[in-house]
Amino acid sequence: MKLTDPLNNWIARWLMAEEPRKHPAPCDFERICHEIRPGDVLLIEGRSRVSEVIRVITQSPWSHSVLYIGRIHDIENEAVRTRIERLYAGDSQDPLIIEALLGEGVILTSLGKYHAEHIRICRPRGLTFVDSQRVINHAIDELGKGYNVRQLLDLARLMFPWAILPRHWRSVLFQHNVQTPTKTVCSTVISEAFASVSFPILPVVQFDDETGIRMFRRDPRLAVPRDFDYSPYFDIIKYPLVPIDESGFYRNLPWSKPGAADDAPSNDEPLTATRVEKSQEPTND
């Protein structure tokens, strides 16, 4: 163990410590778990200090991205499924995600850890089942990699004018490195997985009079969570707390009366569609 490891671990814990949620998340977690599909990308509005840094860098509320791989029985490849069974000690019916976290690296965990968070589903449009399994398998191969803090800092540096930065401060994102990367960040893991099947996220597009449209892949190390939100190749799917399946749903929203005290639920308990329906039940007053 290096002498700097305890300090690095302490810094990582401090950066990952979450602030208490001031308001309930505006999405229905139960519905998300029911509707989500393997290969979907989930965007998370985090509450940690590092999440705030990422929001400032990317100018987006989405500070984290994870890849949903399904439940264990959803994985087609038998060898990969067996590997997941060895790595995950929880219930076989748990919805599983792959993510890269500061202090932990690339890990496999349950989607349930984000039950109280604001989540958005980004679904790759037209991705075949076979390719979705390839994307998932590619991400699984990344399990165990460390979290690349330097890459996060490099992304921040891109916000400053290149000319005014000292040379030793400048980003190394574009420098050629023949070695296989041993560290990564959340969006890079997912971006590389989709790149493995040539699925676009936010490619660079050029128009040529002779050849027409030409597309160029962006460096996966430049990927940030908001890219999946902005990408025209991903469908954005939202499940608000109050169902909006019927025309005129807004007429039945549980608005409080003017001047009434705020009777919002506690921050510790996530709001669900079931609880919203209960709040709409008539009272004896």
213-236 pLDDT, tens digit per residue, is: 888 888 887 888 999 999 999 999
**What pLDDT band is residue 268 in, cutting at 50, 70 and 90?**
very low
Cα 15-16-20 angle, rounded to 5 deg:
110
Is the confidence at residue 67, as pLDDT, over 90? yes
Instruction: Dump pLDDT digits (tens) for 13-28.
Output: 776 677 777 778 889 9
Residue 234 confidence (pLDDT): 98
Q: What is the pLDDT of residue 25?
A: 84
pLDDT value at position 85?
Answer: 95
Helix (H), strand (E) at residue 109: strand 105-110
74-87 pLDDT, tens digit each: 999 999 999 999 99
Question: How many CB atoms neighbour CB 265 within 10 A?
Answer: 14
Query: Tell me, what DSSP letter sits at residue 14?
Result: H
Please list, in sequence order, all residues whose beta carbon lies within 8 angstroms of the beta carbon of residue 231, skipping any fewer than 6 positions away.
Answer: 122, 200, 201, 202
For residue 78, the surrounding DSSP H or E stretch is helix 78-87
For residue 151, is pLDDT > 90? no
Average pLDDT, rounded, for the chain? 78
Predicted local confidence at residue 184, as pLDDT: 46
Q: Please give the Cα distance from 29 to 115 (Å, whole number).
A: 6
pLDDT digits (tens, 9 = 90+) for 42-55: 999 988 777 787 78
Q: Residue 166: pLDDT above 90? A: no
Domains of the chain (ranges; CATH) run: 21-243+251-279 (3.90.1720.10)
pLDDT category at 10 given cuts 50, 70, 90 is: low
State mean pLDDT over 124-153: 85
What single-letter DSSP state applies at residue 262?
A: P
pLDDT at residue number 78: 92
Q: What is the pLDDT of residues 189-202, one digit of tens each?
A: 999 999 999 999 99
Percent of the chain with pLDDT over 70: 72
Tell me the C-alpha distance between 193 and 95, whole Å: 19
